[in-house]
Homo-oligomer: A and B are copies of this chain.
Amino acid sequence: MNHPIRKAKAEDMPAVLALITELAVFENEPDAVHISVETLITYGTGANPLFTCFVAEDEEEIVGMALVYYRFSTWEGKSLHLEDLIVSKKYRGKGYGKALYNQVMRYAVSQDVNRVEWVVLDWNTDAITFYENSGALFLKDWHLVQMNKERLQKYIHSIS
């Protein structure tokens, strides 16, 4: 199977946002996507982007994407975070996911990072099996913690 993967350009971002929205629906969070095509163009293109997005195409239609950016680990130094890897439902099982995953791992090697990290929902058993088969390490003793904008404003108000 030959699935060429390339970096996303500004004109690909509407298709990328459609994939992000499709994943949010799959994750039972249909209203969670608060970004726009403009947000993706602002932070994902230009001279100093905040992230790099790879896309997979099927006859010029974008059917999958993987979005990555650098992080800094105080144990390992420069690392790469895989924020999302999405293949549109009707194109699953054709190797696009693996092609995107492999591209991310090759990119990590080319950028000389010391770790690739991501998160997975504990009920997403297909993804977990895929990651396990690729040799990834699961860290089950950590919790994710977040302050969204509303919680942040409330906290800042409480300490002012």
A71 pairs with B71, CB closer than 8 A: yes
Query: How many residues of A are in contact with the other chain, CB < 8 A?
Result: 69
Asked whether B143 lies within 8 Å of A119 as measured between CB atoms, the reply is yes
Out of B48, B73, B142, B148, name the residue touching A120 (CB < 8 Å).
B142
Contact residues in B for A10 (Cβ distance below 8 Å): none
Inter-chain contacts of A25 with B (CB < 8 A): none
A138–B147 CB distance below 8 A: no
A83 touches B74 (CB 8 A): yes
A contact face: mostly helix, strand, loop, or mixed:
mixed
Say whether, besides A69-B72, A71-B83, A72-B67, A152 and B119 are in contact (CB < 8 Å): no
Indicate if A93 sits at the interface (CB-CB under 8 A): no
Q: Which of A1-9, A54-62, A128-136 contacts B (4 or more CB under 8 A)?
A: A128-136
Q: How far is the CB of A127 from chain B (nearest CB, A)?
A: 9
Q: Are B137 and A147 in touch, CB under 8 angstroms?
A: yes
Asked if A91 is at the interface of the complex by the 8 Å CB criterion, the answer is: no
Asked whether B137 lies within 8 Å of A24 as measured between CB atoms, the reply is no
- For the complex, give the distance between the alpha carbons of A69 and B143 in Å: 19
A-to-B contact residues, CB < 8 Å: 20, 23-24, 29, 32-35, 39, 43-44, 48, 50-51, 67, 69-78, 81, 83-84, 102, 105-106, 108-109, 114-123, 128, 131, 134-149, 151-156, 158-159
